[in-house]
């Protein structure tokens, strides 16, 4: 059986944070019913770098986050559509939405009203700032949260700062946090029989990821330093130039530093008071780096990676995204899976990254066409073909 087999999720989310959360539930085997507006569906259907797919409402942004799901279109401003949603909520386990606070209340679909229909329901609301507080009603996109969370302030160096992460890290981490919370609530329900409301804020979700940096400030009263690609906990630990490019080296332990110095024929640096101990090396990293790079430039990156890793000094090349996606270890782990989508072709999409021994989960169905499963789902609720036609004519579905 699948890990979440028998769990039905009503997914009202759009774009990234919510769809990323429900993607993980779908990959784990839950039946995720993606509820979309009838006109154009999730905005992500029109986002991506392939205009032909955008025109088909199957943009690359949508394809990336919506495998294993079903698509049902409901116009939640129509009373018949609201009635359908309530019928589904009565027989479902989870509702997930990422509207601004108050929107679901205006639809008449607040947690209070829905839990009255189904007390076992878990209701997860994802927003930028949470459901309460002075910023709750502010609009929020990933970049806004990156700025307000402090992430952009600690990225980069004195030449390039502030600096955003190169992908929507706040949205994706918020989605992971939501999926984690939903699973915890499902576990609690197994013990008590009760559902509950979950309030997920993107700003809450991302800030604990800076735990080490924040702890230095909150506990040690030390402001973060702009170190670019250097690791603030150790030196030499970061990115260094080689003959043909760059290499990441993480000589975080004393014995790793000493081995590195020996391999670079810099044994004398082990006794240099500027570099002998970890804290001294951190303070003098600007003096240490050019000494190391002068030696690294004698050979290509691949040479040093093989040598250092053979001596238990963590190191690695800095790959392009294309190289990273095609490296042997990623293929071995089946991080990506190829699945065929009708009228689109083969798609390489991310599989579930957790490997379960007894309850394996994986990508099995392509992202759905808009309204692809409307007839199937509503027929399962008892609606006849004639009633479905009437609902379409009325603009409810």
Which residues participate in catalysis according to the annotation?
171
| DSSP character string of 206-250 | HGGGGHHHHHHHHTT--PPP--TTS-TTSSSEEEEE-SSSEEEEE
Q: Which helix (H) or strand (E) holds 127?
A: strand 122-127
The tokens describing 289, both together, are 């780096």
Residue with tokens 């085997």: 29
- Dihedral of the CA atoms 275, 280, 286, 289 (nearest 10)? 30
CA 293 distance to own-chain centroid: 35
Q: Do residues 171 and 95 make contact, with C-beta atoms less than 8 angstroms apart?
A: no
Which residues sit opposite 350 in a β-bridge? 336
**Whether the Cβ atoms of residue 3 and residue 28 lie closer than 8 Å to each other:** yes
CA 146 to chain centre: 14
CB atoms within 10 A of CB 223: 9
In order of 68, 162, 248, 342, 344, the CA distances from 88 in angstroms are 19, 46, 51, 28, 31
């Amino acid at each position: 059986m699948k890990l979440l087999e028998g769990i039905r999720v009503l997914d009202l989310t759009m774009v990234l944070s919510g769809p990323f959360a429900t993607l993980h539930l779908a990959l784990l085997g839950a039946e995720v019913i993606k509820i979309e507006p009838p006109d154009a569906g999730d905005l992500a259907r029109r986002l991506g770098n392939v205009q032909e797919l955008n025109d088909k409402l199957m943009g690359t942004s949508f394809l990336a986050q919506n495998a294993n799901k079903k698509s049902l279109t409901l116009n939640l401003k129509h009373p018949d559509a609201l009635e359908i949603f309530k019928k589904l909520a009565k027989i479902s386990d989870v509702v997930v939405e990422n509207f601004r606070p108050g929107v679901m209340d205006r639809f008449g679909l607040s947690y209070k009203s829905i839990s009255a229909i189904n007390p076992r329901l878990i209701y997860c609301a994802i927003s930028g700032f949470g459901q309460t507080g002075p910023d709750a009603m502010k609009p929020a996109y990933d970049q806004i949260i990156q700025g307000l969370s402090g992430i952009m302030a600690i990225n980069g160096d004195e030449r390039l700062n502030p600096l955003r992460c190169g992908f929507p890290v706040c949205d994706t981490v918020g989605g992971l946090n939501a999926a984690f919370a939903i699973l915890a609530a499902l576990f609690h329900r197994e013990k008590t029989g009760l559902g509950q409301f979950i309030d997920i804020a993107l700003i809450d979700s991302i800030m604990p990821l800076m735990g080490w940096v924040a702890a230095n400030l909150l506990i040690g009263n030390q402001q973060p330093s702009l170190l670019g690609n250097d690791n603030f906990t150790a030196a030499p630990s970061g990115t260094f130039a080689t003959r043909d490019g760059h290499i990441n080296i993480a000589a975080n332990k004393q014995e790793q530093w000493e081995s590195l110095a020996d391999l670079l024929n810099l044994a004398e640096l082990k006794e240099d008071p500027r570099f002998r101990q970890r804290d001294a090396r951190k303070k003098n990293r600007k003096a240490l780096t050019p000494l190391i790079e002068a030696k690294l430039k004698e050979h290509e990156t691949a040479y040093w990676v093989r040598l250092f890793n053979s001596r238990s000094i963590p190191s690695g090349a800095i790959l392009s995204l294309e190289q990273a996606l095609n490296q042997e270890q990623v293929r071995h782990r089946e991080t990506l899976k190829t699945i065929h989508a009708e009228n689109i072709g083969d798609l390489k999409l991310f599989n579930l990254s957790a490997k379960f021994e007894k309850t394996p989960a994986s990508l099995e169905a392509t992202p759905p066409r808009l309204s692809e499963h409307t007839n199937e789902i509503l027929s399962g609720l008892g609606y006849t073909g004639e009633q479905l036609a009437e609902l379409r004519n009325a603009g409810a579905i």
